[in-house]
A and B are shown apart, each in its own frame.
Chain A
Amino acid sequence: MDLNYTPRQQAFRQEVRAWLKDNLPAQKLASYDTCEGFEQHREWERKLFDARLSMVMWPEELGGRGCDLTEWLIFEEEYYGADAPMRVNQNGQLLLGPTLMEFGTEEQKKRFLPRMAASDDMWAQAWSEPNAGSDMAAISSKAIRDGDHYVINGQKTWSTRAIYADWAFGLFRSDADSKRHHGLSFLMVPLDAEGVTIRPIKALNGKDAFAEIFFDNVRVPVENRIGEEGSGWHVAMATAGFERGLLLRSPARFQQPVRKLVELYKANQAAADRDPSIRDAVMDVWAGAESYALSAYQSVGRLARGEKIGAESSINKIIWSELDLKIHETAMRILGARGELLSSAPQNQDDHGWLEGFLFAQAGPIYAGANEIQRNIIAERMLGLPKA
């Protein structure tokens, strides 16, 4: 055990810090759930890519700089510590990217990953269906082989920012007679293909944050399939579940709002202390964010030693989603009667965007596998309890 950063790691931290200082947008970008904000974020991603900072742990030939996971954690600490913009293409970069790395052909990697790193292509997910949410194996959208193409028919839903995206990836039933986890294939679909209709779903924050995607005889070439035909479930599940979960929500993303929550509490201490449980809640989320960070470093170390990390990743999902909720609930309690004010309200004094974060935090325990499902996974795979 050695909890010191190497000189190389320290130098990397300084390099990232300096670059961000010189290059951060002067003005806060508009929300990436709006058309204007989406394009601003795409431009920012391009800038990151040009500095080879968009996907630091990808190999150089694919647009990254070959960092290890410890360096990636350092990058994330500097990135979120500097209040840099949210990552608009992370569903592609962090969910599909690792899948392509592990299961994609060399040709697919070259074709998709550099453009993904540069955000030339923006990616949306196409997993959930109206009747396949927590029970994802109930997927019924079909992709039936016709020569060197698949013909897709069906409907996907809850696809984040799909109205702005260029591509979608997800699971489709390539064997019409198959059941459950069998007979699914993992496909990448251009969203400008004929027969694709995208209908926005207005989220509770009033923005078109996600969408339904309808497929009506959409033809997709066979080379857009990742992995073998019929092995889509395996591809979707096997891809370094742990890494993916960690990459999606790095600890820095929670340590930064905790720092701001402490500042918010101190700035409003007299009012906040009327309810003594607020101070305790601030301490609790501080401890939560720290232990999430420590756990991440521990896991990265174990991976570097060649250990496998399995169902523990389900714990991560529960921890960060509930932590995010508690951080924002506590902020709202401190803001008190002004907490409800929208950023457009003249009397709004919330310059961090706690309300927006509070709304988004409501979704955390639901998306990426509801926390009830994660608890089932922990109980069955980690503790070995019998299935229902």
Chain B
Amino acid sequence: MDFTFTDDERAFQDAISRFLMTEAAPEALREIWETDAGRSPDLRNKMAEQGLTALSIPEEAGGLGMGDVVWSLMTQELGYYGIPDSLADTAYVSAGLIAALPETVADRNGWLEQIAEGSIRIAVGHPVNPLVADAHLADFTLLNHEGEIHAVPRSLIDVEHNASIDSSRRLCRVMWEPSNSTRVADAETGAPIWEEALNRGALSVAGQLLGLAQRMLDLSVDYVAQRKQFGKPIGSFQAVKHHLADVASKIEFAKPVLYRAAYSLQHGQADAALHISQAHVACAEAAHLAARHGIQVHGAMGYTWEVDLQMFMKRTWALESSWGDRAFHKARISAAIFADDAPLGPGQTFGRS
């Protein structure tokens, strides 16, 4: 029993964090988000150089062969620095989905190699999401037709853009025709793969929400330490302190929930869906509270376009209903814990003993 990360895993996270701190500063993101595409090939190339796109690609396909547990650290960094959907959807969710495809799919290994080297963008159209993020610039989109999996190239897709409150989001309604040439798995093969993709997407969003929560907390701490009223920093007032202490508590107690969920998915555990929904709910709650209390302690400045807090609040409000909204995940938790064989009580935390 060892519920900790290795020093190497933590060092990797720190390296990615330092890299994104310089390469993905809010001013840079604002410029990228202003563009139609909303994405920067330059930033993507740099992230590939850092190994981010190769993280969970098998070693034989040129990747680093890591799993969901390490991704649970990385998605927090992606959230913290407001990195748009395309990276995690390609390098994490799609990579997992494609790796799960049968070896007989001709392009499978080639796609994995391209993900690892950072030369491809892939979007995922899971039915749990009404729209597909980043389908407009994806080389191809993985789509669901009556349970089948289709890999549909950009040229065969029409997209209708749907603007989001989160300026980083590029949501598309996707119009396409299924055909034999786009199908990569039939419905029977596809069912568990779609299920796993849903869980991985939810886990990816959970990690990003937790990172967003931490970013909003850090911004708020900085602000209340320097903003003065009544002759002293407002951060010295108990009412303000307690708002932020509550956010810190939510974050601290969501972290192990996220890590356990990642471990359960990586190791194919029976309660993985329950654990992932618990993580999605816990991380969304932390981020939601960080936004609410964050804007409160920022006062009117928090309601401006100029102050960066708004970028992370809006991304929170978008992501907290992504890859399963709260009702979806609550329903999964409900089904699991009120079942006759529910894993309840002491000693059940890490599997049924």
Contact = CB atoms under 8 A, between A and B. Distances in A.
B334 A283 contact: yes
B241 interface: yes
Interface in B1-33: 1-6
A interface bracket (residues with beta carbon within 8 Å of B) = 35 or more
B225 interface: yes
A285 B6 CA distance: 31
B257 interface: yes
Interface string A291-311: 111110110111011000000
**Main DSSP-derived SS at the A contact region:** helix
Interface residues of B, number: 53
B347 interface: yes
**Main DSSP-derived SS at the B contact region:** helix
A379 B256 contact: no
A387 interface: yes
Interface string B240-273: 1110111011001111110110010001000000
A372 B241 CA distance: 10
Interface in A311-345: 312, 315, 318-319
B233 interface: yes
A255 B236 CA distance: 36
Interface in A347-388: 372, 374-376, 378-380, 382-388
A295 B338 contact: no
A379 B3 contact: no
A169 interface: no
B328 interface: no
Contacts of B224: 385
Interface string B200-224: 0000000000000000010001001
A34 interface: no
Contacts of A259: 344-346
B238 A388 contact: yes
Given A283-B334, A375-B241, A294 B252 contact: no
A255 B240 CA distance: 32
A6 B2 CA distance: 10
B51 to A, nearest CB: 20
B100 to A, nearest CB: 22
B349 interface: yes
A290 B279 CA distance: 11
A266 B344 CA distance: 13
B163 interface: no
Nearest to B333: A283
A28 B256 CA distance: 36
A372 B245 CA distance: 10
A108 interface: no
B345 A294 contact: no
Nearest to B242: A375
Interface stretch (A49-57, A74-82, A122-130, A237-245): A74-82
A298 B256 contact: yes
A380 B241 contact: yes
A291 B333 CA distance: 14
B105 interface: no
A382 B248 contact: yes
B281 interface: yes
Interface string A273-297: 0000001100100110011111101
Interface string B336-353: 011000101111111101
A1 interface: yes
Contact of B253 (A78, A301, A315, A387): A315
Nearest to A312: B252
Interface in A1-42: 1-6, 9-10, 13
Nearest to A269: B338
A42 to B, nearest CB: 25
B330 interface: yes
Contacts of B240: 385
Given A252-B346, A255-B346, A286-B344, A291 B1 contact: no
A293 B1 contact: no
Interface string A48-74: 000000000000000000000010001
A134 interface: no
Given A315-B248, A376-B238, A386 B350 contact: no
B112 interface: no
B252 A280 contact: no
B237 interface: yes
B69 interface: yes
A262 B249 contact: no
Contact of B244 (A13, A78, A302, A379): A379
Contact of B1 (A4, A283, A319, A374): A4
B254 A291 contact: yes
B246 A77 contact: no
A297 B221 contact: no
Contacts of A315: 248-249, 252-253
A224 B281 CA distance: 51
A384 B69 contact: no
Contacts of A279: 334
B53 interface: no
A378 B257 contact: no
B349 A290 contact: yes
Contacts of B287: none
Contacts of B69: 1
A280 B246 contact: no
A279 B6 CA distance: 39
Contact of B255 (A298, A305, A380, A383): A298
A298 B224 CA distance: 31
Contacts of B259: 1, 294, 298
A114 interface: no
Given A259-B344, A294-B257, A1 B238 contact: no
From A283, A294, A378, A382, name the one whose CB has the most chain B CB atoms within 10 angstroms.
A294
A386 B226 CA distance: 10
10 contacts: A3-B267, A256-B346, A287-B257, A291-B257, A291-B278, A291-B282, A294-B257, A297-B349, A379-B245, A383-B241
Given A5-B1, A81-B346, 7 more contacts: A1-B259, A256-B345, A286-B337, A291-B253, A294-B259, A315-B252, A383-B221
Interface of B: 1-6, 69, 217, 221, 224-225, 232-233, 235-238, 240-242, 244-246, 248-249, 252-257, 259-260, 263, 267, 278, 281-282, 330, 333-334, 337-338, 342, 344-351, 353
Q: Which 9 A-B pairs have the closest CB atoms?
A: A379-B241, A259-B345, A294-B256, A252-B346, A77-B346, A378-B245, A301-B4, A375-B245, A385-B235
